[in-house]
Amino acid sequence: MRRFIPTFLLITLVLAIYPFIGKDRDSGGVTGLPWQIELTADGATRVFGVIPGRTTLGEAKAQLGNDMELAIMVAEGEAGSLEMYYGNYRAGLMSAKLVLATELDSDVVESMRQNAAETEVLKSGSRKYVLSSEDHARAFEAVISSIACIPSVNLDHDIIIKRFGEADRVIQTSEGVTHYLYPEKGLDVILSEEGKEVLQYVAPDEFHRLHEPLGEHSG
């Protein structure tokens, strides 16, 4: 029994990371993987079955399933945004957290916040306002502006290049934080030595939203 536990943990770890280190990018017919970014004929991208800038939250829910949460997320000093959160997204053996963000008028966001079913203060200091069911219908009409994917396993340089290809640019913004930029895919892969890796997706013609915040490091 003593030997079973570490062996089981090792097997679990291998199964978790295998989708990222497998031999090919086709992944045995599994769809919905983070590196499966389809470039459409008109210059848009599709990932997780979602086209940033076009797909609505309702359409994404039909694609990704009902196990999600709708909330207004408000960081300190910001007005807040409507987001749909999947805490246990799975594609084959790969698991991750997904956050689908929208951009709504501030008065709509404020109205939803005021109607919130419950409020929670997160460790980061941000506030989460869980949407009231009466606001779900109009929330599902909102268009997704960006997607954040947080894989359950840690990534490294070699895995990123293997799965996403050579980056257009690699920018280190602070100690231990590196951005791998893929403008044509609308993708920024954030590699962190201290925290979790984050994959950010936007429409390619909106890539400046990921690039410009890097400030002087992007020059």
Q: Give pLDDT tens digits for 69-112.
A: 999 999 888 889 999 999 999 999 899 999 999 999 999 999 99
Identify whether the C-beta of residue 199 lies closer than 8 Å to the C-beta of residue 34. yes
**pLDDT of 131-183, one tens digit each?**
999 999 999 999 999 999 999 988 999 999 999 999 999 999 877 899 999 99
Mean of per-residue pLDDT scores for the chain: 87
- pLDDT confidence of residue 28: 63
Task: Please tell me the predicted confidence (pLDDT) of residue 217.
Answer: 61
Helix, strand, or coil (residue 152)? coil
Q: Is the pLDDT score of 119 beyond 80? A: yes
- For residue 92, the 8-state DSSP code is T
Largest CA distance in the chain: 59
Among 7-16, 84-93, 126-135, 203-212, the range scoring the smallest mean pLDDT is 7-16
**Of the candidates 144, 69, 141, the residue with the CA atom closest to the CA atom of residue 101:** 144
List the Cα angle 145/146/150 in 5-degree steps: 160
Instruction: Give the start-to-end residue ranges of the domains of the chain.
Output: 39-153, 154-210
pLDDT band at 14 (very low <50, low <70, confident <90, very high): very low
Residue predicted with more confidence, 17 or 60: 60
- Edge-to-edge strands of the sheet including 94-102? 118-121, 127-130, 69-74, 81-91, 94-102, 144-151, 198-201, 187-192, 177-182, 169-174
Q: Are strands 169-174 and 38-39 parallel, antiparallel or unpaired?
A: unpaired
The residue with greater pLDDT, 87 or 28, is: 87
